[in-house]
Structure 1
Amino acid sequence: MRENEDYRILCWLVISFGGGIVLFFQLSEPIPLKVAAFVSTIAFIGAGIFFRKRFFFILLMLMGFFAGGVTSSALRMERIKTPVLERILIGQLKGLVESVEIRNERRPQLTVRVLEFSGLKPSEIPVKVRVTLRPSSILQAGDYIDAQVRLLPLPQPVRPSGYDFARDAYFKGIGAVGSVLGQVSLLDNSAQYTLESGFMFSIDRLRNRIAKQIYESVGEPGGGIAAALVTGKRGYITEETNQALRAAGIYHIVAISGLHMVIAAGLFFWSVRYALSLFPAIALRWQTKKIAAVAAMFGAVTYCVFSGASVATIRALVMTMVMLGAIVAGRHAISLRNLSLAALLILLFSPEALLGPGFQMSFAAAAALISLAPYASRLSLKMTNSGSFKRVLVKTLNWLIALCLTSLAAGLATAPFAVYHFHTAMPFGLIGNILALPLVSLIIMPLGVIGVLCYPLGLDEPVWWAVGIATGQVVKAAQWVETFGGSVQYFSALQPMVLLLSAIALIWLTHFRSHLRWGFIAPMGVAIVSTVLFSKEYVAFVDRDGRAVAVRSENGALVFVGRINSFLAEQWLRADGDGRSYAEVKPVKNAGCDALGCAHEGIVSVAIVHKSAAFEEDCRRADIIVATTRVPITCQAPVIIDKRALQVKGAAAVLRNSQNQLIVEHARVENARWPWQRGL
């Protein structure tokens, strides 16, 4: 059979490795490293013993890689081990500023490596914290600061199956978030530097200076996009521009990822190869393609470091280096095996990346494009011996066909992941990408490289002016697509099983090459049916501190009761498939509140109780009691969510089952023992 001839064992081994990672993080507590390592070692030893027995060898290798995924995750947990703040705390902080995110419309955000913090034992001090500053404050990476700060525990999921912000921060070494109170004092930092940290601080300062220079040179509306594309600093992009980019399906262009890394590496590759071709003695004797690939490797590493070396950028760098390494080795650069190798390298060192939308969408799009490549040539127009004009026309049409096919394939492959994580789909993303990507690939990125090279000479401003013209057109294109009716479609939150089935369907479609690939219809069909038949419509959401509730009104829309912030409100709205902004719902959020608590009548009646005097009345009439104090045993409300339940199990959501009973779900399992879940 064709599948036996083309067997992609490495691809399936990496998929098994990912399955082990998924299992590890789905449990209520970490699997001990020794247990995972023992199981994987036994499996690999068994594979060695049965090396000549193909079936048993492959089976044991799959088991070994599955256990290897668990081992990699457990090892990563051992390496991180940063203390996590368990309560709100105000104290004096001394630490090194590692990075500064300047924000055009909001307060600057610092990541600080903590050296001292009053009120905590050394073993309790988080390695890093993320804090916001007053807009007028001027700090930069490398500053040694002394400031009073208010720190909070890491933000937990706002609903069942919601995104775990605390886990994401924990694996970045961040153990608390908060804000700076008052003035910041600068201390002598000469004794705090290492060679590596000093270099990274210098890079962050340079990125912020160039980002500011680009923004001031270009202005609105394209200045923020230009700064993001060149430096990776997205703080200058206005919220209106962000919304337009999302509606057009091109927000991915402002996040330094695979697209940018490929363009940057490609610029170095083709520039070096073209320069070498100008010298016949070199072109005829040397392997210029391999030399250009090595040069592109250095260029890609340089771009990664300059753009901040974020997790997404490093992931894109690994993928690019594997492809370029294949060229140096004389192998096909674009293949599922190389993609699998890149995924394995990333997951070995950062297994938690598998759980994030960036990794999932990047590799889904790449797998789809690689699988499409053998069939794309069949749709290309054939070149003839006609005149030069017709040849140019044919090449242009083929380029447009390729752009449409790649945008469509990538969009379809990433759609389930986008709907699951962001609850949105952009049906006109194909149009947005066709309009924006040529400008990004052919004008903005090449000019960005030239501008950075001209910056030390003070000759960069004309370059940024030209970049601004192109980014301005990108914004206009996005705003035009945004005007289309239904440019953004909102979906209520999908269950994790739907995402898993969609991923299985994509893997099946891209990894089989014979008629077996049509088997992807089964898991995809089950995913679609599950979405329609088993979706959950919650009647209420409850915040983890018990002071805010979203309850469904008689017209089916959510209204807010109690004290709620914009972030929490929009997370709930998006999970409900509601496209309204916080400001549009804000006027009704304080209805029915007094000193004792809050109450609201919707599809169900909800009461938030702050003082015990309110229990007598609220327990008689409310369907759901949310209490920030102890609930008396005489309270007979159908659903009681007290402070203890929220502390132990996190945010809650209430739904009706088939028997019309109200059921409570929480964001975490009661006995979960993950380190980032402390402080609930």
Structure 2
Amino acid sequence: MASPKRSRTRAKNIAGDALWDEPRAAPLWPDVVAAPVRSLHDLLARWCAAELAPGQLAPWGAVAFGFGIVLYFTAAHEPVWWAPLIVVALSTVGAVAARRRPIAFVLAVGIGALASGFAVATLRTKLIAHPVLSTPVFGAAVTGFVETREERERSDRIVVRVHGINGTREKLERVRVSVRKRTAPAVGAFVSFKARLSPPLQPMRPGGYDFARDLYFHGIGASGFVLGRITQAQAPHPPDWRLRFAAAVDALRDGMDNRIRAVLPGDRGAIASALITGKRDSISAPVNDAMYVSSLAHVLSISGYHMAVVAGLVFFVIRALLALIPTMSDRYPIKKWAALVALAAATFYLLLSGAEVATQRSYIMIAIVLAGVMLDRPAITVRTLTVAAMLVLILTPESVVHPSFQMSFAATLALVAGYRYGLPWRADHDAGLGTRATLWGARELVGLVLASIVAGLATTPYAAFHFHRLAPYGVIANLAAMPVVSAFVMPMGILGALAMPFGFDGVFWELMGKGLDWMTGVALWVTQLPGAVGHIAAFGTGPLLIGTLGLLLICLLRTPLRLAGVVVAALATMLAMTARQPDVLIAADGQAVAVRNAHGRLAVARTGSDSFAVRDWLAADGDLRAVSDATLGEGIRCDEAGCTLPLPDGRLVAFAKTLEAFVEDCRRAAVVVSVRAAQRDCAGQLIDRPVWRTQGAMALTRHGDGFEMTPAQPRGTARPWSIPAQGKTPAISSIRRPAPDVTPRREDLDAGD
């Protein structure tokens, strides 16, 4: 007899079967639709699980860290140093508490990485805080040590660590001054001179490159040029070890540079020296422009390519030489020894080349790879790039907004992602020698073409944003020039450097020059092709950030979800191509005004001889005209009192030069621009000295009958590198500033004061 418990269970099952037998309501979606939806859901779930697998999110941590630094640079005023540290602490606690909840854990770690980047940038600015010149000074007396020296095509430039300075309110730490060609003193010299100093250059237009920010993070508080002679004097104290080391390295670079140029005069010697010593400032403007137009400019900047060639060649030669000694190859780890020597060679090359951001990044990557060889650990390329990015961002967080960092890491990331899938056409071991040679040659050729295409596409958004130019024939130029550079130019340069101490280097420089002739010939030939000079108008940071997201999705994701990056990149391209250009541009010093005429091009009126702002405006507008082009003055009427620039709708922009011109200009012009302070009762929009002194360069865009004004430095902006001026909100920071005069006016005193 069945137990009561079993009977109840059986009855329950029978009741359940009866329930299923009853007619049910029709599903909301028929099976013909629900089945594919379920399949798609399952497929997306598998892809997402693969992307969230252990180790896959590490590169995104570096991305979040870098984005935190970008957020820091968008702040209106200087953040307090402890605020982001609190967020880091809270996110760390949250990550620990949510370690068993995958989504919450990832979010907490991401927020912590973002806040860490913000904190690192804030602390970096606090640590290097120094005064910045606020007003121009003529005849400032400066004494100090020469820290760096830079040779240029028409003049030289030095950075001086200030020991004493007279004529300025601020006690500047470093100044950068230009001197006549071939008159710059050596690094480490103690010099005395008088100079015309100016505040660091502010952006030429809203959204333009911030030169003042760049100089600030180099510790430079003013720039200008020397007046008269530079006198070398006895130093009040010996230079520190950093300066002595910099002087020794600079002397070595100068010696090698002079020797190379003695054998190879002109651009050949300048390019050869750039590849060996990193000094690329003496290349003539036509050749330098041709290298950029042909997309061969990456050869001039020592980066991953050069570092890989040097380290790889040294590693191969040392290992091959040691392998010729049977006793050594059988008993000792010659592969590790070769890696150690290659690392030493890469370190020497880093110091010799000036250790720029691209060189630092490539050195870190090479060092990680060689360390993996010495420790018998394989180097994972994406992880290597992640470590390199983190180290560079921690040491120099300001590099994230520099084009060198952006283009270098974009190209490297794209190449790493591209070569992840490898190339076909590997020959079998039993294939003939001819077959193997043919397949090897085809693989190398295709690999070079793909590398040029991939790296070119990855760097295009950043080249367009910073330099407003494209290189449509970059693949052709790289395909024609890079095999010669890799297989001939760089090996001859390395052999020349090794033979220089023995005096037998001349033949190698001559051979290197032959290869450089081919490279420059290719670059100049490409510039003559139709449509070789590709220009694009400026666009904002929004399309650049969206394009960066698209690049990251394509390169970091491993599943078909990466195709979403193509959609994101297409959206960024559309936004960049349709970005609206300003109708009126005004220089930061009020000395130049540009108006978009009825033909859609800029017409320019200016009072001074400085053409830097106008050149930047034309480049940002995708305009190929030179600053001296007569068509820039089309439609402009000028006299001694000022100029009028017509808008396409017939209204006028007045550029008033005298006070008498204001009465008429304020009555009839839609916009009035002046280099002086003017009356406030203008009918049109007035931009005079108080406006552009506090807000910098201006861009005006028409909206109906009015204009939307976009300043380079909006009201309330107060960063350490911005010029302190009346009307600005003081920064919330501990940046050292000159103490103000607090003496009260006599009429403000009370009895007993």
Q: TM-score range by the shorter chain?
A: over 0.9
2:415 to 369, 387, 394: 369
Tell me the equivalent position of 1:126. Answer: 172
1:83 match: secondary structure: coil
Cα distance, 1:207–1:394 mapped onto 2, change above 3 Å: same
Mapped partners of 2:304, 2:719: distance in 1: 31
Confirm whether residue 57 of structure 1 aligns to residue 105 of structure 2: yes
Measured after TM superposition, the shift of residue 288 of structure 1 is 3.1
Mapped partners of 2:260, 2:668: distance in 1: 60
Mapped partners of 1:169, 1:590: distance in 2: 39
Tell me the equivalent position of 2:601. Answer: 557
Mapped partners of 1:626, 1:318: distance in 2: 51
1:675 match: secondary structure: coil
Cα distance, 1:653–1:256 mapped onto 2, change above 3 Å: same
Mapped partners of 1:185, 1:244: distance in 2: 39
Cα distance, 1:663–1:400 mapped onto 2, change above 3 Å: same
Greater CA drift, 320-329 or 459-468:
320-329
2:248 to 185, 194, 202: 202
Tell me the equivalent position of 2:711. Answer: 666
1:653 match: secondary structure: strand
- Superimposed CA distance per residue, residues 340-379 of structure 1 (whole angstroms, 9 cap, x where no aligned partner): 111111111111111111111111111111111132323x
Tell me the equivalent position of 2:459. Answer: 414
Mapped partners of 2:560, 2:333: distance in 1: 40
1:161 match: secondary structure: coil
2:587 to 539, 543, 557: 543
Counterpart contact for 2:603–2:645, Cα < 8 Å: no
Cα distance, 1:590–1:182 mapped onto 2, change above 3 Å: farther
Measured after TM superposition, the shift of residue 381 of structure 1 is 5.3
1:47 to 95, 101, 107: 95
Mapped partners of 1:189, 1:314: distance in 2: 33
2:509 to 464, 467, 470: 464
Measured after TM superposition, the shift of residue 83 of structure 1 is 1.1
Cα distance, 1:605–1:564 mapped onto 2, change above 3 Å: farther
2:422 match: secondary structure: helix
Measured after TM superposition, the shift of residue 579 of structure 1 is 1.9
Counterpart contact for 1:232–1:256, Cα < 8 Å: yes
Mapped partners of 2:520, 2:430: distance in 1: 40
Alignment of 1:583-662 (within 5 A): 583-584=628-629, 588=633, 592-603=637-648, 605-637=652-684, 639-657=685-703, 659=704, 661-662=706-707
Q: Which amino acid aligns with 2:123?
A: L
Confirm whether residue 441 of structure 1 aligns to residue 486 of structure 2: yes
Mapped partners of 1:314, 1:301: distance in 2: 10
Query: Rg larger in 1 or in 2?
Result: 2
Tell me the equivalent position of 2:13. Answer: none
Mapped partners of 2:676, 2:193: distance in 1: 34
2:536 to 476, 484, 491: 491
Cα distance, 1:205–1:219 mapped onto 2, change above 3 Å: same
Counterpart contact for 1:114–1:128, Cα < 8 Å: yes
1:95 to 118, 127, 144: 144
Alignment of 1:258-277 (within 5 A): 258-277=304-323
Mapped partners of 2:89, 2:326: distance in 1: 54
Confirm whether residue 111 of structure 1 aligns to residue 159 of structure 2: yes
Tell me the equivalent position of 1:174. Answer: 220
Mapped partners of 1:100, 1:457: distance in 2: 28
Confirm whether residue 318 of structure 1 aligns to residue 364 of structure 2: yes
Tell me the equivalent position of 2:733. Answer: none
Measured after TM superposition, the shift of residue 181 of structure 1 is 0.5
Q: Which amino acid aligns with 2:588?
A: R
Mapped partners of 1:258, 1:173: distance in 2: 27
Tell me the equivalent position of 1:290. Answer: 336
1:149 match: secondary structure: strand
1:612 match: secondary structure: coil
Mapped partners of 1:136, 1:529: distance in 2: 48
Counterpart contact for 1:208–1:233, Cα < 8 Å: no
Mapped partners of 1:297, 1:448: distance in 2: 18
Confirm whether residue 141 of structure 1 aligns to residue 187 of structure 2: yes
Greater CA drift, 209-218 or 34-43:
209-218
Confirm whether residue 518 of structure 1 aligns to residue 568 of structure 2: no
In the superposition, the TM-score normalised over structure 2's length comes to 0.85
Cα distance, 1:114–1:589 mapped onto 2, change above 3 Å: farther
Tell me the equivalent position of 1:24. Answer: 72
Counterpart contact for 1:548–1:564, Cα < 8 Å: no
Measured after TM superposition, the shift of residue 147 of structure 1 is 0.4
Tell me the equivalent position of 1:37. Answer: 85
Mapped partners of 1:262, 1:100: distance in 2: 27
| Percent of residue pairs bearing the same amino acid type | 33
Counterpart contact for 2:51–2:57, Cα < 8 Å: no
Counterpart contact for 1:561–1:590, Cα < 8 Å: no
2:181 match: secondary structure: coil
Cα distance, 1:660–1:577 mapped onto 2, change above 3 Å: farther
1:162 to 208, 226, 243: 208
Mapped partners of 1:647, 1:127: distance in 2: 24
Counterpart contact for 1:376–1:402, Cα < 8 Å: no
Counterpart contact for 1:268–1:295, Cα < 8 Å: yes
Q: Which amino acid aligns with 1:93?
A: V
1:3 to 28, 31, 51: 51
In the superposition, the TM-score normalised over structure 1's length comes to 0.94
Q: Gaps (5+ residues) in structure 1? A: none
Tell me the equivalent position of 2:744. Answer: none
Counterpart contact for 2:602–2:632, Cα < 8 Å: no
- Superimposed CA distance per residue, residues 194-240 of structure 1 (whole angstroms, 9 cap, x where no aligned partner): 23311211211321332233223212342221121111111220001
Measured after TM superposition, the shift of residue 138 of structure 1 is 4.5
Measured after TM superposition, the shift of residue 594 of structure 1 is 4.1
Tell me the equivalent position of 1:214. Answer: 260
- Superimposed CA distance per residue, residues 628-664 of structure 1 (whole angstroms, 9 cap, x where no aligned partner): 2222233112x2212111111110011223x353221
Q: Which amino acid aligns with 1:289?
A: K
1:133 match: secondary structure: strand
Alignment of 1:368-407 (within 5 A): 368-378=414-424, 380=425, 382=427, 385-407=430-452
Measured after TM superposition, the shift of residue 318 of structure 1 is 2.1
Greater CA drift, 276-285 or 63-72:
276-285
Mapped partners of 1:390, 1:536: distance in 2: 56
Q: What RMSD in Å do the two structures reach over aligned CA positions?
A: 2.1
2:421 match: secondary structure: helix
Measured after TM superposition, the shift of residue 564 of structure 1 is 4.9
Cα distance, 1:219–1:155 mapped onto 2, change above 3 Å: same
2:660 match: secondary structure: helix
1:182 match: secondary structure: strand
Cα distance, 1:594–1:212 mapped onto 2, change above 3 Å: farther
1:344 match: secondary structure: helix
Greater CA drift, 607-616 or 443-452:
443-452
Counterpart contact for 2:175–2:223, Cα < 8 Å: yes
Counterpart contact for 1:547–1:608, Cα < 8 Å: no
- Superimposed CA distance per residue, residues 475-503 of structure 1 (whole angstroms, 9 cap, x where no aligned partner): 00101111111112111001110000000
Measured after TM superposition, the shift of residue 186 of structure 1 is 0.7
- Superimposed CA distance per residue, residues 117-172 of structure 1 (whole angstroms, 9 cap, x where no aligned partner): 11235xx2222211100225242211111000111000011111111111111111
Counterpart contact for 2:637–2:644, Cα < 8 Å: yes
Counterpart contact for 2:636–2:646, Cα < 8 Å: no
Tell me the equivalent position of 1:83. Answer: 131
Mapped partners of 2:435, 2:672: distance in 1: 73
Cα distance, 1:592–1:140 mapped onto 2, change above 3 Å: farther
2:376 match: secondary structure: coil
User: Number of matched residues?
Assistant: 673
